[in-house]
Amino acid sequence: KAGVTQTPRYLIKTRGQQVTLSCSPISGHRSVSWYQQTPGQGLQFLFEYFSETQRNKGNFPGRFSGRQFSNSRSEMNVSTLELGDSALYLCASSLGPGRTSYEQYFGPGTRLTVT
């Protein structure tokens, strides 16, 4: 079974631009979560989607948004990029809500650098 895939793997953007990251979950997984990982703050939860609906949201500004499609694929968007948005963005999939949602299967991440 193929794992979680994320595209692109690396991205360099300029302050003020916007960016869209893509995630394809493991086949059969219907829940997708996004995380931001930085050396200073560690791994922080952005949001979770299930059946095209946002179920949970972390403490990030409204510049961070996401969506999920009917095939469970997900995208996240960051608008008006700031230098502090430079990070590894990780997507994780799980079977769905409930106890199984806590067992996350991660993709390799997208390394975003904002200059």
**Residue numbers at the binding site for other proteins (CB under 8 A):** 4, 33, 35, 42-45, 48, 55-56, 58, 90, 92, 97, 99, 101-109
CB 49 within 8 A of CB 35: no
Q: Which is nearer to other proteins, 45 or 65 (CB)?
A: 45
Q: Which is nearer to other proteins, 22 or 44 (CB)?
A: 44
Q: Which is nearer to other proteins, 26 or 78 (CB)?
A: 26
Distance of closest approach, residue 45 Cβ to other proteins, in angstroms: 6
Q: Are strands 110-114 and 105-106 parallel, antiparallel or unpaired?
A: unpaired
Per DSSP, what are the bridge partners of residue 113?
12
For residue 51, count other CB atoms closer than 10 A to its CB.
12
Distance of closest approach, residue 106 Cβ to other proteins, in angstroms: 3
**Per-residue DSSP letter, 105:** E
Distance of closest approach, residue 10 Cβ to other proteins, in angstroms: 10
Sign (positive or negative) of CA dihedral 88, 89, 92, 96: positive
